[in-house]
A and B are shown apart, each in its own frame.
Chain A
Amino acid sequence: MEFRPILSAMLRNKTGAILVGLQIALTLAVVANSVSIIMTRAEKIGRPPGIDSENLIFVQSYGFGPNYDQRSTIDDDLRLLRSLPGVVSASPISQIPMSGGGSSTNLGAEQTREKVTINTNHFSIDEHGVEALGVKLVEGRNFTQSEIQFNPDPNNSDFVPFVILNKDAAKAIFGTEHAVGKTVYDLSHSAIVIGIMDNMLGSWVGWDKLTQVMLTPRIEAGPLARYVVRAQPGRRDALIADIEQKLSGTNPNRAITYVRPHQFYKERSYRADSRMVAFLSVLIGLMVSVTALGIVGLASFHVSVRRKQIGTRRAVGARRVDIIRYFMLENWMLTTGGVIAGSVLAFAFGQWLSSAYSLPRLPPSYVAGGVVVLWILGQLAAFLPARRAAAIPPAIATRTV
């Protein structure tokens, strides 16, 4: 192999080699860290919501004036919603999961300040709520109609006698103990756990306690009323139009403020993350292209200034493949130098990002992946100019001086 001659040629033109090496190093550092950020965000966006997100519709009504009655409005609305074709189930609901708005309460297995510390998202529903959300009860039982609480004063702080916890909440509060039949406490109330459901996500997608959820059997006081409607697969959009039309005008004392798919909230809550993913993907694409084009440009240029030497080499017996190998090897050596520096840079940059912006540590596999990609990219970028070099006829050596 021609390591030695290539190396000495490079050393004669150090600056050029250093520039390409630096460019490759920076590219590796940025790409590895960007991919790491993208993967973290994609993982966050991809968490299963635990509810039948695709088929859920949320409806909000807002009452006004002295003639508005929350309870009768909700009863009428639910009757109407449940009678619509294409509806699997419907329930009142206090908040919209993953929407960025919600309620949470500290709970504990004992009523002491030290124990009541498990922050839990909660959603109030009626006996149809479990089915309407599409969560699965894994233990215990659902609420019954007679257990659904209602207090018309919006400022009351009543609690409920029974609750359903999801697995994560039950685990955080009771550890490995069997939770059904146990009592949970906040600082002034208690309730019996009657059921455990599979995990679902709570209100704030950026919150580390997102996976701890409690369902309570309760219809909230007015003037705001929200419903969750679960549509049969494929009928969601038609149903949204239907609900809008059927509910408007049924009650002069309230306004229907929206009828929206759950997708709307999911997308809105993850918007900052999808934005980051989109932006970084574009950046990676641009960066890799600029670097590759830079390699092509520089290699082409080297070929054009070395036409005479190449011709001479060919004339003294070098085959085409030798010329190609020379340029490919030269590029590989440059890339290798670049990725070695780049790996160091990538980890240093990753370290800084994780300490300054509390981003997760950069996994070494991303750097390794980046190294392989840059090697391949460098070889691909060098191949075209190398082939052009190989096409230089040996006769050129004899022409001009």
Chain B
Amino acid sequence: MLAYYSRIALKSLRRNPMLTSLMIGAIAVGVGVCITTLTVYRLMSGNPVASRNDVLYSVTLDSWDPNRPWAQDHPALPPPELTYPDAQALYASSIPDRKVMMRKAAFVVEAPPKSGVAPFLIEGRTTTKDFFAMFNVPFKYGGGWDQAADDGSQMVVVLSKKTNDKAFGGADSVGQTVRLDGHDFKVVGVLDEWAPTPKFYDMNNGAFDEIEDLYVPFGIGQQFEMQSAGNTNCWRDQDINNFQDFINSDCVWIQFWVELRGQAKATAFQEFIDNYVREQKTLGRFERPLNNHLRHPDEWLKVNEAVQDDNRVLVGLSFMFLAVCLLNMIGLLLAKFLGAAPLVGLRRALGASKSAIFRQHLVEVGVIGLGGGLLGIALAALGLWGVRHLYENYDELTRLDFPMLLTAIGIAVLSGLLAGFYPTWRVCRVQPAAYLKTQ
């Protein structure tokens, strides 16, 4: 029966090729535009550590200026980063199962003199050892470093896959040395492909940047007196005359995360940081009201507005566009179906039931929806190709993956059926007698 209906549908569609291609085309561009904006939106709103969302927390303390909040337009938000003394104090706590303090730092890499490669600057991160385990960072060779390396600020380094490909041709470089800022660092690990999007662990320094090129123990930055390569924000008027002054200042520049398994630990740690801040208040710091937060990654991404307003507006506009495409299709279908009403009248008079007519037309609508959906996916691929040219370094944002393909087909068929339902219903209500009379 379905084969018969499909044959009727195709015949009917072929009878009026311009109308048919208009309808398929309208659904296709509507779906194409929606899938394009949705893909970008979905990747921006994704949570790259969803599997560990329940145990991870970003830690923020409100150490900011008593006279004005950190963000004028979001007065309840504390700064996203900590001062060095506060990070040290929190890191000393034994409540968290894991903890990490870290910051961005730039390093000059020197290739062996015989290679002829000029020294170049790369972006690194100084961090404590739990970074890799906490954030599920995949390793290709070796692994992270141990407590002793953190304690002694040992010169060990974990390379990103990209860096290892560039410097060692992708070979297992564990045990080799890399010369950074005039010192030899021993490679202990090489990461596998890793592209957390958004880069949740450091939203304040390029939320959609690639990961760092290499990672070294946190203490190295202080030992080398390295300035932060990320944003450093200060408010208090302090005389800073050397690196020690800077480290002890109220400038915020360190990202801090903890892993707390179980609500009891989360409560205990919240209490710990609140008590720490109360204690600091007696020393004249933290003049703002108590405003310390432990936030899960999903909440953290939300307060940091990973999804920009522009993207929301675009998704909204795209769906309004899809609505126009659908209205267009309903109008055309209705005209077409009602135009063929005499034929339907004849068929009804010859014994076709209402439901048979309904099913026949629904198949025709489904064919249009499916055709539009498939064409729409092709258009979305084209749209994403265009978007890739508009976003630099955003390849990650513009992949059309399997769930998105399913969504595209889903949107197309659903909107096709939605658009087809009313005209189909109308044509079923045709009174055979009315048409038989005039014919």
Q: Is the CB of A294 within 8 A of B328?
A: yes
* Interface window among A21-29, A71-79, A161-169: A21-29
In the complex, chain B residues whose CB is within 8 Å of the CB of A300: 18
Q: Are B327 and A23 in contact (CB-based, < 8 A)?
A: yes
Residues 313-357 of A contacting B (Cβ, < 8 Å): 353, 357
Chain A residue, CB-CB nearest to B121? A257
Is A66 a contact of B182 with CB atoms below 8 Å? yes
Is B334 touching A19 in the complex (CB atoms < 8 A)? yes
A62 cross-chain contacts in B, Cβ below 8 A:
106, 108, 121
Binding site for B on A (CB under 8 A): 15-16, 19-20, 22-23, 26-27, 29-30, 33-34, 37, 62-66, 113, 153-157, 186-188, 248-249, 254-257, 268, 271-272, 274-276, 278-280, 282-283, 286-287, 290-291, 293-294, 297-298, 300-302, 304-305, 353, 357-359, 401
The answer to whether A16 touches B331 (Cβ under 8 A) is yes
Per a CB cutoff under 8 Å, which of A254, A297, A357 touches B22? Answer: A297
By the criterion CB–CB under 8 Å, are A268 and B317 in contact?
Answer: no
Tell me the nearest residue of chain B to A20, going by C-beta. B331
Residues of B close to A304: CB separation below 8 A: 339
Given A16-B331, A286-B29, A298-B331, check contact A156 B19 (CB 8 Å): no
Partner pick for A283 among B18, B22, B33, CB 8 A cutoff: B33
Question: Are A19 and B331 in contact (CB-based, < 8 A)?
Answer: yes
Q: Taking the nearest CB of chain A, how far is it from the CB of B178, in angstroms?
A: 13
Give 13 A-B contacts (CB < 8 Å), ordered by A residue: A20-B331, A155-B227, A155-B241, A278-B386, A283-B318, A287-B324, A290-B328, A291-B324, A294-B328, A297-B18, A298-B332, A301-B332, A301-B335
The total of Cβ contacts below 8 Å across the A-B interface reads: 151
In angstroms, Cα B33 to Cα A291, docked, is 15
Instruction: Report the separation of the CA atoms of residues A282 and B392 in the bound assembly, to the nearest whole angstrom.
Output: 19
Q: State the 4 A-B residue pairs at the shortest beta-carbon distance, nearest first.
A: A65-B182, A187-B237, A294-B328, A64-B108
Contact call A255/B327, Cβ cutoff below 8 A: no
B309 within 8 A of A: yes
Secondary structure at the A interface, as helix, strand, loop or mixed, is helix
Inside 8 A of A37's CB, which chain B residues have their CB? 313
Neighbouring B residues of A15 by C-beta, 8 Å:
334, 422, 426
Task: Determine the chain A residues whose CB is within 8 A of the CB of B323 once the complex forms.
Answer: 26
Interface residues of B in 174-222 (CB under 8 A from A): 181-182
Please tell me which stretch of B148-156, B161-169, B242-250 contacts chain A, meaning at least 4 of its Cβ atoms lie within 8 angstroms of it: B242-250
Whether B390 pairs with A278 at a CB distance below 8 angstroms is yes
- Please report which residues of chain B, range 298-356, place their CB below 8 angstroms from some CB of chain A when the two chains form the complex: 308-310, 312-314, 317-318, 320-321, 323-325, 327-328, 330-332, 334-336, 339
Name the distance in Å between B325's Cβ and chain A's nearest Cβ.
Answer: 6
A-facing residues in B128-144 (Cβ within 8 Å): none
B238 part of interface (Cβ distance < 8 Å): yes
Is A255 in contact with B119, judged by CB distance below 8 angstroms?
yes
| B240 interface residue (CB < 8 Å to A) | yes
Residues of chain A within 8 A (CB-CB) of B227 are 154-155
**Residue of chain A at shortest CB distance from B113:** A252
Question: Would A353 and B328 be within 8 Å (CB), given that A16-B335, A64-B108 are in contact?
Answer: no
